[in-house]
Chains A and B, each alone.
Chain A
Amino acid sequence: MSAASTLPPPGQTTPRRTLRSWLAIDERAAVVAFAQTTVGRALIFTIGLLAVSRYFDAWATLLAVSAALAAAYLPKYRNPVLFAATWLATLIETATSGNDFAEHIGLVIAQEGLAELSAVGLAIGSLLLVLAGIHHLLRYVRQHPKSLIARRPVITLLALEALLCGLSLLDIMQGLPRVLVWSLLVVVTPFIWFLPYAIIDQRAAAGQPLLLQMAALRPFWSPTYLPFGKGAAFLQKFLAKTTDDLAVTQLKGIKLLVWSNLLLALKAGLGWLLVGRLGTPTVAETVDTFLQGQPYPLLTSWTALAWSTAYFALQIAIWAHLFIGLARLAGYRLPRGSWRPLESRTLMDYFNRFHYYFKELLVDFFFIPTFFKTFRQHPRLRMFFATFMAAAVGNALWHFVRDIGLIARVGMAAALQTYISYLFYCVVLATGVGLSQIRAGQGIRPPDTLTGRLYSFIFVWSFVVCLHLFSDGSRQHSLGERLSFLASLFGVI
């Protein structure tokens, strides 16, 4: 089909183009000008509150949206506002009963029979210690840019994590010492992947101010384990420079927040239809019934797996849009965290689109260091091995560290044993992405036709759905059980 034959007749536009044009409010001068007025800003604030309130508690919503807009409208006080909002949000969250820190610490307190200790109190104490420690660490790196932690931040921090974890498992560390070490470990863990960005920036000659570095550690817009927006240096590159640019950035942020809510509604709707009305089981249930010799019909099992994959993909997109939308309200025109993954043409493309900031973290801390050091004379092997180090080794490490709390619950041996399935997932994903990367390097790409796109969609998403069976996070079934179940889906068993 020629390019000319795909064009609509003169004077006529396709519905898709009309919809896109209608949604492009950030490209209309009148809307951009309105967004800079008092009424426009009040409207942005209101829509922001409504959109974020679906995800955060009332206090956190008010704090996040207010801080984002204050940072945007008061550039002189941007860094102090961001710092105060980030650490105030973390402190309030930590002081609230039922948070992750308190839950993990409470478990070890119960195991050690020290009921008189307060999990929340220990969490707050550990957090203040971590805050002070990070401050000193970043100052140290600034003064000693050639030190080990400045040159090898990821390895050094992971070694620290392993040391704390190992200490907490020692037989001699019973009672209060174990509780204290464990408290420090669970509180420092969420910062482990933020710190390397801050350290790398601190060792640079033109590093960002320390206050901004500290503000970008689990910033209030994304209180997770993954650095959405990387670190201060990356944020600074995307900071809106003019009032027009700021208005456009905020309009893009509002659009992303609304889109996040629409995807949330879609997820709820699909859940209502597939689970509520059609009774689709979970993947774990389908594997259980298969192992009991009474498997669900093939269509039901495939539907369960496809729905679980779609649920996960929607969840990633929903949270990514929320976090980046909020960052954009603060004036940072960050790239989206998930960008049309259904349009992925190759596995490499999928890896890039599906979870952008996770991919960036793996590239920054695993791919690039490997790439510059190994197999320099063998370009294909070099690319494949670096990709493998990122998508397999980095991926596996990141998820194991994220779930570090499981060690207190089930012990190290069981935590590793139940992780084998996810390791398998990482190895297969990395192999697929690595081969895809090599093919792309050779210029091999699916044709840009309707058939080619359909082929890409089927290939990429069949691979993703099948592989999802090994990464569902339930940790309930062994690798062998999952492989058997997958074989049964293809009628092999």
Chain B
Amino acid sequence: MQLEEKQKLRDFLADALVKHGDRNPLADGDLLFTSGRLDSFSTMNLVMFLEESFGIDFSDFEFDVGVIDSVDLIATFVDARR
């Protein structure tokens, strides 16, 4: 994932966190969903964002939130899937 793409992802996640009242800083390794910072509905918003922004197809994939649980994990996942 390129630097500007990663920044776009960070911005999206920071916005999602703010919407949840979470204004704490987000490091690339911080867990988002299993830590409870974001909820299941946010997962789906993230999925839509990844579909639209990076052309990821989730339909042939047994979804596991663990693969998109941090900025770093998402970057790895996106690189592997596209």
A residues near B, CB below 8 A?
204, 237, 335, 348, 352, 359-360, 363-364, 367-368, 371-373, 376, 379, 382-383, 386, 437, 440-441, 445
Contact A371/B40 with A376-B59, A440-B19, A445-B19 known, Cβ cut-off 8 Å: no
Q: Is B44 an interface residue (CB 8 A)?
A: yes
Q: How far is the CA of A445 from the CA of B18 in the complex (A)?
A: 12
Q: How far is the CA of A348 from the CA of B40 in the complex (A)?
A: 12
We find that the number of chain B residues with CB closer than 8 angstroms to chain A is 17
Are A441 and B45 within 8 A (Cβ)?
yes
Query: How far in angstroms is the closest Cβ of chain B from A24?
Result: 16
Please, which residues of chain A bring their CB within 8 A of the CB of B44? Answer: 367-368, 371, 383, 386
Are B59 and A367 within 8 A (Cβ)?
no
Q: How far is the CA of A371 from the CA of B64 in the complex (A)?
A: 14
Q: How far is the CA of A332 from the CA of B44 in the complex (A)?
A: 26
Are A371 and B19 within 8 A (Cβ)?
no
Contact A379/B40 with A372-B59, A440-B19 known, Cβ cut-off 8 Å: no
Please, which residues of chain A bring their CB within 8 A of the CB of B58? Answer: 372
Specify which of A348, A372, A379, A437 lies most central, judged by the most chain B CB atoms within 10 Å of its CB.
A372
Contact A371/B47 with A348-B41, A363-B40 known, Cβ cut-off 8 Å: yes
Q: Is B78 an interface residue (CB 8 A)?
A: no
Contact A379/B48 with A368-B63, A372-B59, A440-B19 known, Cβ cut-off 8 Å: yes
Please, which residues of chain B bring their CB within 8 A of the CB of A440? Answer: 19
Interface residues of B in 35-54 (CB under 8 A from A): 36, 39-41, 43-45, 47-48, 51-52
Q: How far is the CA of A364 from the CA of B65 in the complex (A)?
A: 11
Please, which residues of chain A bring their CB within 8 A of the CB of B36? Answer: 335
Are A364 and B40 within 8 A (Cβ)?
yes
Query: How far in angstroms is the closest Cβ of chain A from B54?
Result: 15
Binary A-proximity of B15-40 (CB < 8 A = 1, otherwise 0): 00001000000000000001010011
Please, which residues of chain B bring their CB within 8 A of the CB of A445? Answer: 19
Query: How far in angstroms is the closest Cβ of chain A from B14?
Result: 14
Q: How far is the CA of A379 from the CA of B47 in the complex (A)?
A: 11
Q: How far is the CA of A373 from the CA of B61 in the complex (A)?
A: 11
Query: How far in angstroms is the closest Cβ of chain A from B5?
Result: 20
Are B59 and A352 within 8 A (Cβ)?
no
Q: How far is the CA of A377 from the CA of B19 in the complex (A)?
A: 25
Please, which residues of chain B bring their CB within 8 A of the CB of A237? Answer: 34
Q: How far is the CA of A367 from the CA of B63 in the complex (A)?
A: 13
Please, which residues of chain B bring their CB within 8 A of the CB of A360? Answer: 39-40
Q: How far is the CA of A364 from the CA of B41 in the complex (A)?
A: 10
Nearest opposing residue in chain B for A351, CB measure: B41
Contact A363/B41 with A371-B47, A379-B48, A445-B19 known, Cβ cut-off 8 Å: yes
Q: How far is the CA of A90 from the CA of B41 in the complex (A)?
A: 34
28 contacts between A and B (CB under 8 A): A237-B34, A335-B36, A348-B41, A352-B39, A352-B41, A360-B39, A363-B39, A363-B41, A367-B40, A367-B41, A367-B44, A368-B40, A368-B43, A368-B44, A368-B63, A371-B44, A371-B47, A372-B58, A372-B59, A372-B63, A376-B59, A379-B48, A382-B48, A383-B48, A386-B44, A437-B41, A441-B45, A445-B19
Given contacts A360-B39, A368-B40, A372-B63, 19 further A-B contacts (CB under 8 A): A352-B39, A359-B40, A363-B39, A363-B41, A367-B40, A368-B43, A368-B44, A368-B63, A371-B44, A372-B59, A376-B59, A379-B48, A379-B52, A382-B48, A383-B48, A386-B44, A437-B41, A441-B45, A445-B19
